Amino acid sequence: MTPEVAAREHGRDRRKRLTRASLRRAVLELGLEYGLASVSVEAIAERAGVSTRTFFNYFESKEESALLPLFQLGDPQLEALRQGPPELAWPDLTELFADDLDRAVEDEAFLGFLQLQEHNPGLAGRQLATFARFEARISGALVTRLGDAPDARVRAPLMVGCCFTAVRIALGSWTQEGRSGPVRPHLERALSVVEPAFTAP
23 and 107 share a domain?
no
pLDDT for 164? 92
pLDDT band per the 50, 70, 90 thresholds, residue 144? very high
Q: Which pLDDT belongs to residue 8?
A: 56
pLDDT in tens, 47-79: 999 999 999 999 999 999 999 888 888 888 889
**Do the domain assignments include residue 119?**
yes
Residues 44 and 119 in one domain: no
Long-range contacts of 197-200 (CB under 8 A, 24+ apart): 197/158, 197/162, 198/89, 198/90, 198/155, 198/158, 198/159, 198/162, 199/90, 199/91
CATH number of the domain residue 11 falls in = 1.10.10.60
Query: Does residue 55 share a domain with residue 147?
Result: no
> Which of 17, 39, 65 corresponds to the end of one domain?
65
In a domain, 70, yes or no: no
Q: Which of 44, 65, 86 is the last residue of a domain?
A: 65
CA count, 13 A, side-chain hemisphere, 83: 6
What is the residue range of 84's domain? 75-199
Percent of the chain with pLDDT over 70: 94
pTM: 0.82
- Domain match, 92 and 25 both: no
If asked whether residues 104 and 163 sit together in one domain, one would say yes
**Does 24 map to a domain?**
yes
